[in-house]
Amino acid sequence: MKASGMKDSYLNFANSPMGSRIAAALGLPRPVLLERFHAHQPVMEGDVLVGASAGAQWLPTLAQAFKSMQIHTVAHEVPQWTALCNQVGLMSGRWTIEGQAGARVKGLVFDATGLQTLAQADSLYQFFHDTVRSVLPCGRVVVLGWDPAQCDDALQASVQRALEGFMRSLAKEVKRGIAVQLLQLTDDAHGALEGALRFFLSPRSAYVSGQVVRLTAALTTEWTQGHDAPWDAAQPLQGNTMLVTGASRGIGEAIVDTLARDGARVVCLDVPAARDALQAVAARVQGSALSLDITDRNTPAALVQAALADGGWDGVVHNAGITRDKTLAKMPEHLWQSVLQVNLGAQADITQALMQAQALRAGARVVCVSSIAGLAGNVGQTNYAFSKAGVIGLVHSLAPRLAAQGMAINAVAPGFIETQMTAAIPLAIREAGRRMNSMGQGGWPVDVAETIAWLLSRSAAGVNGQVIRVCGHSWLGA
Ligand SMILES: NC(=O)c1ccc[n+]([C@@H]2O[C@H](COP(=O)([O-])OP(=O)(O)OC[C@H]3O[C@@H](n4cnc5c(N)ncnc54)[C@H](O)[C@@H]3O)[C@@H](O)[C@H]2O)c1
C-alpha of residue 248 to centroid of ligand 1, in Å? 10
pLDDT of residue 13: 78
> DSSP letters of 37-73?
--TT--S-SS-EEEEE-TT-S-HHHHHHHHHHHT--E
Q: Is the pLDDT of residue 2 over 70?
A: no
Q: 14 or 311: whose pLDDT is higher?
A: 311
Q: Is the pLDDT of residue 381 over 80?
A: yes
Which whole-number Å values give the CA distances from 348 to 247, 256, 382, 387, in the listed order?
18, 21, 19, 11
Q: What is the pLDDT of residues 99-142, one digit of tens each?
A: 455 689 999 999 999 999 999 999 999 999 999 999 999 999 99
C-alpha of residue 322 to centroid of ligand 1, in Å? 5
Q: Report how far Cα 371 is from the mean position of its chain's Cα atoms.
A: 13
Output the residue whose Cα is nearest ligand 1's atom 42: 321
Binned at pLDDT 50, 70 and 90, residue 358 comes out as: very high
Binned at pLDDT 50, 70 and 90, residue 97 comes out as: low
Q: Which residue among 4, 7, 271, 392 is best mutated to probe the pocket of ligand 1, counting the most ligand atoms within 8 A of its Cβ?
A: 271
Output the residue whose Cα is nearest ligand 1's atom 2: 417
Q: Is the pLDDT of residue 324 over 90?
A: yes
Output the residue whose Cα is nearest ligand 1's atom 21: 250
C-alpha of residue 320 to centroid of ligand 1, in Å? 4
Output the residue whose Cα is nearest ligand 1's atom 25: 246
Q: Which atom of ligand 1 is nearest to the CA of 417?
A: 3
C-alpha of residue 246 to centroid of ligand 1, in Å? 6
Output the residue whose Cα is nearest ligand 1's atom 44: 414
Tell which residue, 130, 315, 346, 128, has the closest CA to residue 240: 315
Q: Is the pLDDT of residue 235 over 70?
A: yes
Q: Which atom of ligand 1 is nearest to the CA of 248?
A: 39
Q: Is the pLDDT of residue 429 over 90?
A: no
Q: Is 207 a catalytic residue?
A: no
Q: 3 or 348: whose pLDDT is higher?
A: 348
Q: What is the pLDDT of residues 68-78, one digit of tens each?
A: 999 999 997 77
| CATH code of domain 220-470 | 3.40.50.720
468 forms beta bridges with 412
Q: 266 or 427: whose pLDDT is higher?
A: 266
Binned at pLDDT 50, 70 and 90, residue 347 comes out as: very high
Q: Which residue among 248, 253, 267, 270 is best mutated to probe the pocket of ligand 1, counting the most ligand atoms within 8 A of its Cβ?
A: 270
CATH superfamily, with its number, for domain 43-215: NAD(P)-binding Rossmann-like Domain (3.40.50.720)
Q: Which atom of ligand 1 is nearest to the CA of 273?
A: 37
Compute the average pLDDT of residues 418-429. 85
pLDDT of residue 176: 94
C-alpha of residue 318 to centroid of ligand 1, in Å? 10
* Spatial distance between the Cα atoms of 465 and 478, rounded to a whole number of angstroms: 19
pLDDT of residue 102: 60
Give the full edge-to-edge strand order of the sheet including 241-245. Answer: 288-291, 265-270, 241-245, 313-318, 360-369, 408-414, 467-470
Tell which residue, 430, 426, 425, 416, has the closest CA to residue 474: 416
CB within 8 Å of 317: residues ≥ 6 apart? 242, 243, 244, 245, 252, 255, 259, 366, 367, 369, 452, 456
Pocket lining for ligand 1, CB < 6 angstroms: 245-246, 248-252, 270-271, 274, 293-295, 319-322, 342, 369, 371, 414, 416-417, 419-422
- Please check whether residue 319 is in contact with residue 252, taking contact to mean a CB–CB distance below 8 angstroms: yes
**Mean pLDDT over all residues of the chain?**
92
Q: Which atom of ligand 1 is nearest to the CA of 443?
A: 3
Q: What is the CA angle 82-83-87, rounded to 5?
A: 115
pLDDT of residue 17: 80
* Spatial distance between the Cα atoms of 72 and 454, rounded to a whole number of angstroms: 23
Q: 25 or 387: whose pLDDT is higher?
A: 387
Which whole-number Å values give the CA distances from 436 to 38, 238, 375, 433, in the listed order?
27, 37, 16, 6
Q: What are phi and psi of 294, to 5 degrees?
A: -65, -15
* Spatial distance between the Cα atoms of 85 and 81, rounded to a whole number of angstroms: 6
Output the residue whose Cα is nearest ligand 1's atom 36: 246
C-alpha of residue 268 to centroid of ligand 1, in Å? 13
Q: Which atom of ligand 1 is nearest to the CA of 320?
A: 24
The residue from 10, 125, 207, 384 that is catalytic is 384
Compute the average pLDDT of residues 217-232. 57
Q: What is the pLDDT of residues 142-189, one digit of tens each?
A: 999 999 999 999 999 999 999 999 999 999 999 999 999 999 999 999
Q: Which residue among 421, 446, 452 is best mutated to probe the pocket of ligand 1, counting the most ligand atoms within 8 A of its Cβ?
A: 421
Output the residue whose Cα is nearest ligand 1's atom 41: 321
pLDDT of residue 240: 96
Residue-range domain boundaries for the chain: 43-215, 220-470
C-alpha of residue 418 to centroid of ligand 1, in Å? 12
C-alpha of residue 101 to centroid of ligand 1, in Å? 45
Q: Which atom of ligand 1 is nearest to the CA of 296?
A: 31
Percent above pLDDT 90 for the chain = 77
Q: Which atom of ligand 1 is nearest to the CA of 274?
A: 37
* Spatial distance between the Cα atoms of 406 and 399, rounded to a whole number of angstroms: 10
Q: What is the pLDDT of residues 437-477, one digit of tens each?
A: 999 999 999 999 999 999 999 999 899 999 999 999 998 87
